[in-house]
Amino acid sequence: MLNQKTIDIVKATAPVIAKAGPVVTQHFYQRMFSHNPELKDVFNMSHQQNRENNGPSSQQEALFNAVCAYANNIDNLAVLLPAVEKIAHKHTSFLITAEQYNIVGTHLLATIDELLSPGQEVLDAWAEAYGVLANIFISREEEIYQENENKDGGWRGTREFIVTNKQQDSQFITSFTFKPVDGGKVANYKPGQYLGIYLNADELENQEIRQYSLSSAPQDDQYRISVKREVQGKVSNYLHDHINIGDKVMLAAPAGDFFLEVDAKTPVTLLSAGVGLTPTLSMLESLTEHQASVNWLHATENGVQHAYKKQVKALAEKHAHIQDLTWYNAPLDTDLPAEDYDYQGLMDLSKVATQLADDKMQFYFCGPVGFMQSIAKQLLALGVSEDRIHYECFGPHKIL
């Protein structure tokens, strides 16, 4: 536990660091990668690139927000537990170690010293505070590592898998199915969680680690992910262009704090846009025997970009409690209303408000940040309480 003096110092100096803003995190990352270049094989270097007006990258912004949140709530750490859980799951997918926390702490303190020169008393207080936070993460992550290792078919670290199927599901989305090379079972997961994939190749400057949502209901012998080809996506393009049936990859065990958690009598609505359907598709396939109603609401640009259209339609036709509705933002001439899609434009929940009116209904959604912000706003306007709203961001987490 932190003593009151340390708490007071951290809270008093937090506004100074907040005022320094992204300069602190940019300096931190530059310093860390300069002194410890091996961490480039762990961090997603694409997230280190500034994308707008020379501002902070998404990863740098996420770190800055986390540091500020910790400092502001240092005397009430319980507030941070949901964020700790989310980050801890992501860290286990990167196989983060206790030693790496020491490296990060060293460079964080050095950055504060080099940029702000706050004096030894302040540095000591921040060092103590960081140590407490690091231990919280290390402890929780070790629990997750052990949970994954002790599962039937589970493992710790990475495990070698072979690609058994590669299927193009839309203009930009391709699915990959993996089975373990050792022929054993695979660890179970909760619908909505993701899989960590490790890639090393001559075409890639560093080892690349990514997390992709598992896009099918759990099976005991294989995993499936569905990957969108991004214009500047180093890894997504590599997977699409270079990974084929018979190739081998290294995978970390499934993880993630966004997952379906309802009983059989709880109504569910799954909302998605674009490739955001990957975690919700896993949920949908897991709800085929559900006793309550299930709404599948999906938005995409047009028919050629509509992934898993036939599969979802088949599930809805087979199971009376599932209803699927689709929005096309810009239908093609070949896209037929009422056959290929139900509504045109962006997803408008007022069109289906009656179906969403059950006060026990749980809502799970994923997609581009703008889409999720719109959905969250619409759900709240419909009177849905925040505790029934669950969402996942691809990449560094953002608050909607």
The answer to whether 194 is a known ligand-binding residue is: yes
Amino acid type, 154: G
Is 141 designated active site? yes
The answer to whether 396 is a known ligand-binding residue is: yes
Is 208 designated active site? no
Written as six digits, the tokens of 92 are 């286990």
The answer to whether 91 is a known ligand-binding residue is: yes
In total, the chain counts a number of residues equal to: 400
- Cβ(252)–Cβ(178) under 8 Å? no
Phi and psi at 211, nearest 5°, equal -115, 130
Strands (E), 288-333: 294-300, 322-328
The answer to whether 312 is a known ligand-binding residue is: no
- Among 29, 70, 101, 145, which one carries the catalytic annotation? 101
The answer to whether 364 is a known ligand-binding residue is: no
The answer to whether 130 is a known ligand-binding residue is: no
The answer to whether 122 is a known ligand-binding residue is: no
Helix spans in the chain (H):
4-20, 22-35, 58-72, 81-93, 98-116, 120-150, 234-242, 277-286, 309-318, 369-381
The answer to whether 393 is a known ligand-binding residue is: yes
Q: Name, in order, each residue with C-beta under 8 angstroms of 71's C-beta and a sequence gap of 6 or more.
A: 10, 11, 13, 14, 17, 18, 129
Q: Which helix (H) or strand (E) holds 272?
A: strand 268-273
Angle between helices 4-20 and 120-150 (to 10 degrees): 90
The answer to whether 238 is a known ligand-binding residue is: no
The answer to whether 278 is a known ligand-binding residue is: yes
The answer to whether 394 is a known ligand-binding residue is: yes
In 3D space, the residue among 237, 225, 213 whose CA is nearest the CA of residue 165 turns out to be 225
The answer to whether 28 is a known ligand-binding residue is: no
Phi and psi at 103, nearest 5°, equal -65, -50
- Among 29, 130, 141, 364, which one carries the catalytic annotation? 141
Binding residues for FAD are 194, 210-213, 393-396
Residue set of the binding site: 91, 194, 210-213, 274-279, 393-396
Q: Which residues are catalytic?
A: 101, 141
Binding residues for heme b: 91
| Residue ranges at the known binding site for NADP(+) | 274-279
